[in-house]
A = this chain, B = another copy of it.
């Protein structure tokens, strides 16, 4: 744990007291988003202290020219980045002649931030004494509307406390913004037009190269003593900015406030020539509903989200706050409305990882969205990859593969590979398997097979072809091997026969062959279409099976475990607990070669395979592998603790499971990795959800049935979560004493609890 300044509260994230050193961390932690845009918790007013500005528009990115030391054939030309977008939240504030700036005030008191997760808004309040001696009280609240997702609303209230004073609000838009992360200090935005009309202003700007056209817009409404007033604004226009300045003589003790409505219309969703028109129409809708009305709708929309996805924990407020923060952020990031979008590892809370898509989505996020949303959301995530299939085939071609083999990129925005480390870009190919696994997982969970004949089979064929070409026959071993890969444990590079990758490859080819057969038998028209499109031949699936029937898996007879890769046992096998504390985290303390030749594991690798394919292995085998690998695991990836928490729970090691759970659920709130100021770890938050549902709750879907093996950490009184299973919502409540179930819908549901059948009837609480 690196920090503990966030107040514990079941529903809110709260900071009290103004600490300039925490501004950047809080800007991450108090971020807001609505799936279409996101906003770090930057101050609306001027702030000359250390800050990391971030406004983001989903799907608007820039191809930043690749920067490498040593170019390798096959590297992509650019790294696509979600950009810092034009600022729409800014409000310059003059108190008399003095610019309000918390960095230069004489004193700042009663500073408080609250991110209300239940209702989806963020508020900041404080009193300040300015250099002029004027004292003011400020309260500013904002949210990004779930209802009209192009718009956000701010209510900024100022009350002078010790004298009458002229106050000026100057809400503005600014497209003269930069990224902190830029390879070549490129200019990312080109401002083309700035206009204003009454209380409205518009900046049209487009991204360089990608030419995403945007209109950033705003409209201001002023209030004095609680009632609307009209003030004629003074226009302040710059090269890349526009402001509307409203001045008022304010009496001591009276509140002058502004409602600022703002946001973006984007050429992704509108005709490029009609962005201003669209902005006006959006503004009209928002202003008509008004600030209070929008806020009310916001509360209702969040209530609906929580209705389905909340997890309650009794008796452990820190754990409760942690899991809600995770669920809240996931919902702020992605809502499944748009299959062109996906989930960046930092969502809309920072620039790192460029807002791009990683295998995190399929491995960690899909289960969360499947179980807490309607199945269309998970379908959207699968469709995203289907839409990128042609690009995945191109990508594989670039690396020498033929015949429609597909390699999905390690990092992508539009389907093209963005990453440029050979050991990752070219070798961390297990990502391809996670994409196939998500298709299987979707079918397993939802029971909906239609995705496979419609879209999924083509993806599975492309992936199977890739694996089939990627392995080679070893004359020495008389088996098929896979050389030169990087597994999920990125602390090993360019290894041979990574067990996880080999296993996943075999599974992909087998699964694809099965689905080809099934679609052929059950959906002959789809089969014909797909076979024609992909030039699939009958012998091809036989060829895949030839490989899968004779695949090599490294195994230690002595330890009776699968080996992470060839040669793993040649390492110096010192356990993590025997490492000097000063050596940790090794990714900060050790040079890369030392990490690579050490046995230390960044995140689950063999165990990730046991997680995906749990039913292929006995519990005894899981225990053996867990006991063999976990002691060498440093968990230096945010994606590591959750899998271990789930497996520890399965093995009945609740103390260990709970420790891993805390680490994943409060990773950002407690800033375990000393980097929260860069943004939040959004995708690993889905892992936290899995830790409770799959770990403590022991939820699985086997043979079209929900299974539970509920356990509870001794620190908790009880916990409860819900699962949307095939259009019925099951609520599970677990305490030390009892486990109870409730379902919605109008039909009974047979489930398995601790391997015993249990019949659930709508409207009835059933105890297991």
Contact = CB atoms under 8 A, between A and B. Distances in A.
Contact of A472 (B398, B567, B572): B572
A678 B275 CA distance: 51
B399 A481 contact: no
A479 to B, nearest CB: 9
A587 interface: yes
A672 to B, nearest CB: 20
Contacts of A591: 72-74, 398-400, 422, 426
A763 interface: no
A592 interface: yes
Interface residues of A, number: 47
A473 interface: yes
Interface stretch (A63-71, A506-514, A735-743): A63-71
Contacts of A587: 73
Contacts of A288: none
Contacts of A69: 66-69, 420-421
Contacts of A571: 472, 474, 483
A570 interface: yes
A593 interface: yes
Most buried by B among A399, A422, A570: A570
B426 A476 contact: no
Contacts of A569: 474-476
A494 interface: yes
A493 interface: yes
A8 to B, nearest CB: 36
Contacts of A594: 399-400
A573 B594 CA distance: 31
A598 to B, nearest CB: 9
Contacts of A472: 570-572, 597
A34 B666 CA distance: 66
A484 B593 contact: yes
B494 A494 contact: yes
Interface in A578-629: 587-594, 596-597
A566 interface: yes
Contact of A597 (B74, B483, B588): B483
A73 B588 contact: yes
B73 A590 contact: yes
Contacts of A670: none
B73 A572 contact: no
Given A66-B69, A74-B592, A399-B594, A567 B570 contact: no
28 contacts: A67-B67, A67-B68, A68-B68, A69-B421, A70-B420, A72-B591, A72-B592, A73-B592, A74-B591, A74-B592, A74-B593, A398-B591, A399-B593, A399-B594, A400-B590, A422-B593, A423-B494, A472-B570, A472-B571, A472-B597, A474-B571, A476-B570, A477-B570, A483-B570, A483-B596, A483-B597, A484-B593, A566-B566
Given A66-B69, A476-B558, A496-B570, 17 more contacts: A67-B68, A70-B420, A70-B421, A73-B589, A73-B592, A399-B591, A399-B593, A422-B591, A475-B573, A476-B569, A476-B570, A477-B570, A483-B571, A484-B593, A493-B493, A493-B494, A494-B596
Interface of A: 66-70, 72-74, 398-400, 420-423, 426-427, 472-477, 481, 483-484, 493-494, 496, 558, 566-567, 569-573, 587-594, 596-597
